[in-house]
Amino acid sequence: MAAPIIELQGITKTYDDGFTALSNINMTIEPGKFYSLLGPSGSGKTTILRLIAGFTNASSGAILFEGQKINDLPANQRKVNTVFQNYALFPHLDVFENVAFGLNLQKRPKAEIKKRVLDALKLVQLPGYANREISELSGGQQQRVAIARAIVNEPKVLLLDEPLSALDMKLRQDMQYELRELQQRLKITFIFVTHDQEEALAMSDEIFVVNDGKILQSGTPVDIYDEPINHFVANFIGESNILPGEMLADYQVEFVGKTFECADAGMKPNEKVEVVLRPEDLDVTTAEQGKLVVTVDTQLFRGDHFEIIGIDDDGNEWLIHSTNPVRGGKHIGLTFEPEDIHVMRFGEKEADFDARLEQYEED
């Protein structure tokens, strides 16, 4: 494990009116990786970014940059640059002057500035736009200029505050690829704030799920998708069927009145739990062969899949993603593998969750 480039230790942020925006945030950021801070609006993810950038101060806790405490270092002396949500390009300057802003402040030689600015514009695929006015550019182009303006200063960490949220769907997906590619080419650390779970899953090496000023879970996109720690994470990341259940014994869970084999262990016998089943893990079969039987309520064609909502005899709603539509009979059976069941304990902390996972996976 490489030496961390940024560490947040026990960061708490309380505003004058008593509102606690962040409570006890601990994060370790390693160099060269793509991180996402994922959470709903108002969760505190942007506040974390502003703390790292130096636009706001922590009430308590330490921010370390390469091992040095930088709590009191002003924003203009930190080796990080930010891409702002609405780009924050200077309207009175043209594209070249915007990108050159940081280098001009450093009083670099004219020739070097010119070369680096033009290189940066090439990197974001805007060569030949140097003399355009900002008002002449489309949203996507402004986005690229904002990225060029930040990376031209060769920051060690690039902070991105929902940079894609103002773009339309198609452009957003293109930019996701481009950003990921750019990060891998430049090998600088990206910290990307987003409320879009698909974006975070697609681009990140590691995701921090933030809600109510706390980090609920961190891990790779696959870990977080497959092993969400609690109801909130399971619901926020991807779609899921979440049901109350009871852990009868290791690898045995009971829900909707039936007992199923599962892949989770390490809990107390007869502990009340929640069970997650992802809609794409549910396979449609005949009513006789199904582990569960539901009645089809609605069926929507979503382009790449059919979204089926079924209701079982107990009145629970089941969301099913199927590549084929259900034809004929309204009663269908659902099957799934033991690994498709994910069991969540109530109120489990991330450290305990990770320890438990490690413990029984070693067995």
Partner 1 sequence: MKKIKFSSVYLVLVFIILYIPIFYLIFYSFNQGGNMNHFTGFTWAHYQELFSDKRMLVIVLDTFLIAILSSLFATIIGTFGALGIAGRKSQRTKSALLTLNNVLMVSPDVIIGASFLILFSALGIGLGFGSVLLSHIAFSIPIVVLLVLPKVNELDPALLNAAQDLGATNWQTFSRVIVPYITPGIFSGFFMAFTYSLDDFAVTFFVTGNGFTTLSVEIYSRARQGISLEINALSAVMFLFSLLLVVGYYFVNRYSHSRRQKQRRHAKSEVTLS
- Cβ proximity of 175 and 143 under 8 Å: yes
Helix (H, G, I), strand (E, B) or coil at 18: coil
217 binds partner 1 (CB under 8 A): no
15 binds partner 1 (CB under 8 A): no
Tell me whether residue 15 or residue 177 sits nearer to partner 1 (CB atom).
15
Choose one: 118-126, 131-139, 263-271, 306-314; the region binding partner 1 (CB under 8 A). Answer: 131-139
77 binds partner 1 (CB under 8 A): yes
Contact with partner 1 (CB under 8 A): which of 39, 44, 61, 102? 102
Contact with partner 1 (CB under 8 A): which of 30, 64, 101, 223? 101
Choose one: 21-29, 136-144, 218-226, 243-251; the region binding partner 1 (CB under 8 A). Answer: 136-144
323 binds partner 1 (CB under 8 A): no
Binding mask 246-285 for partner 1 (x = CB under 8 A): ----------------------------------------
Nearest to 269 by CA among 245, 252, 254, 247: 247
* C-alpha dist (Å) from residue 265 to 33, 220, 261, 262, 283: 32, 21, 11, 8, 24
173 binds partner 1 (CB under 8 A): no
By CB under 8 A, the count of residues binding partner 1 is 30
Tell me whether residue 178 or residue 283 sits nearer to partner 1 (CB atom).
178
82 binds partner 1 (CB under 8 A): yes
112 binds partner 1 (CB under 8 A): no
Tell me the closest approach of the beta carbon of residue 146 to partner 1, in angstroms. 9
Contact with partner 1 (CB under 8 A): which of 38, 53, 145, 148? 53
Q: How far apart are CA 302 and CA 321, in angstroms?
A: 9
**For residue 13, what are its two tokens?**
């942020």
Tell me the closest approach of the beta carbon of residue 122 to partner 1, in angstroms. 18
Tell me the closest approach of the beta carbon of residue 8 to partner 1, in angstroms. 19
41 binds partner 1 (CB under 8 A): no
149 binds partner 1 (CB under 8 A): yes
Q: Which long-range contacts (CB under 8 A, 24 or more apart) does 124-133 make?
A: 124/148, 124/151, 124/178, 124/182, 125/178, 126/95, 129/95, 130/94, 130/95, 130/96, 131/94, 131/95, 131/96, 132/94, 132/95, 133/94, 133/95
The alpha carbons of the chain give a radius of gyration, in whole angstroms, of 24
Tell me whether residue 161 or residue 281 sits nearer to partner 1 (CB atom).
161
Contact with partner 1 (CB under 8 A): which of 8, 51, 121, 137? 137
SS3 letters across 19-79: CEEEEEEEEEECCCCEEEEECCCCCCHHHHHHHHHCCCCCCEEEEEECCEECCCCCHHHCC
Sequence-ordered strand ranges (E) for 96-195:
157-161, 189-194
Q: How far apart are CA 242 and CA 216, in angstroms?
A: 18
Contact with partner 1 (CB under 8 A): which of 153, 194, 217, 240? 153
Site residues (vs partner 1, CB under 8 A): 53-55, 74-77, 80-82, 84-86, 88-92, 101-102, 105-106, 133, 135-138, 149-150, 153
